Amino acid sequence: MSQKPFYITTPIYYVNDVPHIGHAYTTLACDMAARFARLEGRPVLFVTGTDEHGLKNAKTAQEKGRTPQEHVDLLSENFRHLCTISHISNDDFIRTTQPRHIKAAQAMWKALSDSGHIYLGKYEGWYSTRDEAYYAESEIADGKAISSGSPVEWVEEPSYFFKLSAFGDKLLSFYKANPDFIQPKSRYNEVIKFVESGLRDLSISRTTFNWGVPVPGDEAHIMYVWLDALTNYLTCVGYPDENATAYKTFWPEALHVVGKDILRFHAVYWPAFLMAAGLPLPQGIYAHGWWTKDGQKISKSLGNAIDPLQLYEIYGLDQVRYFLMREVTFGQDGDFSHTAMVSRMNGDLANDYGNLVHRVLSFLDKQLGGVLPALEPLTADDIALLNQAQIMLPHVVALMKQMGLSKVLEEIWSLVGAANRYIDAQKPWGLKVTDPARMGTILAVLVDVIRRIALLTQPIMPDASAQILDMLNVEEHDRLFAAYNTHLSSGTQLRKPICVFKKWEDPDAS
């Protein structure tokens, strides 16, 4: 049976911000899910990119003496670079200034307009350039948006409107029929409450600046940056060509992963636009929490941004990837601290996983020249550990379906813990003279469990896992989950072990 395709997207980031760990976090979460789905053998499309229109960019470009295009060309590279350095496996990188996207956004506008969902009016109200969002009077206090703290300004201009108010009931029945559409559950409830409180028509064009996608048929207007940006998810599958292979394969299989700050745009506006355009809705929206530093949301405007590249340099890439996904339950907020980072790096990675691999493979190398013994005869203890390893795969597959990313790692580490306890109980080191055959079986059991753990850790720590699988001489095609329940043949020559997870060393300590 062919496997269900998986389309996963990050938000497209505003180029104006220098990438910080908040951006890296969303992209890493999607990378983990995309890599996992590929290992399951599913066709995957994983897309990230940059959101390049809007007043904020136009203003900054002017301040810097650049054209808006020069400005966004320059800054978009920061996000592309972040992907490369973070070993992100994205299949595409979308930029909203690309011709393919302008074509898709204009086609979307036409679909909304042709179906009678757009009318011309005048916008009078509050707008935040920092958030690129319209706010109602009730959402403002002291000249700032209550939710984000961003300054707002009064705007009065002719504007096209989208008849969002006509979609309240349709959205509510859709949410009720698809209770997993918005995750986690607390966010689902939040969105329902918002929609139940009543939807107002949405201003979807601007006339006071021109850095955006021109409105088809009325070039005095440019499209509101969010209508433009949300359409990127369709651009990447070839829209408006609904016969494009990517469209046919991946739409509407999409899962949009976003921070909780932009949930409303994705869970309310986007489905309403799609309904109005007569297009199928994505599979789901997952809103994760915020990283904070000392309790404050990390962002450039607050001046407390943490540079992911610097973290990779200090702690190592796979260590940071692991930490970010493990430390905080996916969906909740988390506070970044050096102490927590070092504790994961030294505890979970160096002591638990690293040591397991190193002591088993070094001992095997020393005692048996790295030649893998037979996985028999098995005792009840051996079978118990092997069974635990075997059921781990269906277990984590089920957790991944809910985007339980931190939970997946927690579960894999329960197997790491079980393997370490098994060594302590079986004491293979003591058997080399008294019972070398038994020692061999214990080592074969451990190698098999390490192989499975390394298969499972590939999505989160691709490099470290590859090093471990290399040491075990696992063939490339046996690194897919389809090979999870196979075994390495006895007699396989393992490679010389190397240390994969280093401990944190304080550079100031002498």
Are β-strands 6-14 and 254-259 bridged in parallel, bridged antiparallel, or unpaired? parallel
Task: Pick the closer one to ligand ME8 by CB: 76 or 367.
Answer: 76
The minimum distance between CB 275 and ligand ME8, in angstroms, equals 17
Task: Pick the closer one to ligand ME8 by CB: 167 or 336.
Answer: 336
Task: Pick the closer one to ligand ME8 by CB: 264 or 451.
Answer: 264
The minimum distance between CB 498 and ligand ME8, in angstroms, equals 34
| Lookup result for tokens 């969303």 | 26
The minimum distance between CB 24 and ligand ME8, in angstroms, equals 9
CA distance 185 to 413: 26
Task: Pick the closer one to ligand ME8 by CB: 11 or 428.
Answer: 11
- 291-293, strands of its sheet edge to edge: 296-297, 291-293, 334-335
Task: Pick the closer one to ligand ME8 by CB: 203 or 299.
Answer: 299
Other Cβ atoms less than 10 A from the Cβ of 89: the count is 16
The minimum distance between CB 470 and ligand ME8, in angstroms, equals 33
Task: Pick the closer one to ligand ME8 by CB: 258 or 423.
Answer: 258
The minimum distance between CB 237 and ligand ME8, in angstroms, equals 15
In 3D, which of 159, 193, 161 has the Cα closest to residue 175? 193
Instruction: Indicate the burial class of 245 (C-beta count within 10 angstroms; 0-12, 13-18, 19 or more).
Output: exposed
Helix (H, G, I), strand (E, B) or coil at 509: coil
The minimum distance between CB 452 and ligand ME8, in angstroms, equals 32
- DSSP H stretches of helix in 151-307: 168-177, 185-196, 225-230, 232-235, 245-250, 263-264, 270-277
In contact, 82 and 309? CB cutoff 8 Å: yes
Task: Pick the closer one to ligand ME8 by CB: 12 or 112.
Answer: 12
| Lookup result for tokens 């970010």 | 324
Other Cβ atoms less than 10 A from the Cβ of 423: the count is 19
The minimum distance between CB 168 and ligand ME8, in angstroms, equals 22
The two tokens of residue 388 are: 């635990």
| Footprint of ligand ME8 (CB under 6 A) | 11-14, 17, 22-23, 25-26, 51, 229-230, 232, 258-259, 261-262, 290-291, 297-299
Q: Which residue has its beta carbon closest to ligand ME8?
A: 22
